[in-house]
Structure 1
């Protein structure tokens, strides 16, 4: 049973409990004691390979995963899947369907951040958290000036939210959002055909 899945663009790294092997046979095998240089060499091998997915097995998978993520600059974000009756709210940003989310501010709880980001990006209020959903993880090189080129490990905390208001959603255009739209569960194929790999498993939970 896969415990964690980390995305590098469209590539995937799975972390599962088991023997100490790397199923894709990359040059190096990660362990719970791998140093930052070893992890970065391993990541470079994977990034430059034509392998779309690798699965790392280890008997101490929690230790290995935490050691792996410690090699990166951490960034935490939060967001939501908003439901009104059976419909689900999505944003269209940078040419893809996405879910409202954003970075957690210093001193802010993950729940407060998730609610705030939905309000800011979708222009709705009085939505509430129903339950926590699985986190998503992805790694990337920072495009921002103060951390330019540094490897980032981003965990996004997700929540299912309920909204019963009648406000017309308003896209936050300054964040590159051009549309906010409600979808029925049986319409989610349109979303899944043009969304990010790291969101697909989350969205699949709601597809009719």
Structure 2
């Protein structure tokens, strides 16, 4: 694997969100975007496999000499694990203590944060279908809905654009009745990407 010439330490400045109990989706999106942009996420996903540790001699077999590829891979992986740790809150660090590789730490986060309990999924679904605009500006209300949708998607729940539009329309107050009626009467689906 050809590594980017950028130093791993300089990536830390690009990751501005620290992982806390309530922002995994946001942190995950930023972390993966930065690491994929510099071809380093393969270490976390397991696609970059550790090369053989010892040199193999065609005549004598496995030697005690450690390969350069192994040393380089371990150095990069430990640097990436350190980068990951630097993006964590105090509570989140507890989930990676003892992890020896970046992939091991990543799996730990997926088990902890991405796999949401059925109870939490049900709470999010209820909130998604009952959230009201209230006194919020429309943009803030739509952003609240998007955050809930993103959490559901991260929990591997399928939320369509139509589900999002209907949930948004349902939470609007009476003064939006005409808009709601027009949108629901359309033959074509409205996309949330058209909201502005």
Fold equivalence (TM over 0.5): no
- Structure number with higher relative contact order (C-alpha < 8 Å, ≥ 6 residues apart): 1
Compute the TM-score of the two structures, normalised by the length of structure 1: 0.27
Compute the TM-score of the two structures, normalised by the length of structure 2: 0.28
- Specify which structure has the higher proportion of helix: 2
- Specify which structure has the higher proportion of strand: 1
**Greater Rg over alpha carbons, structure:** 2
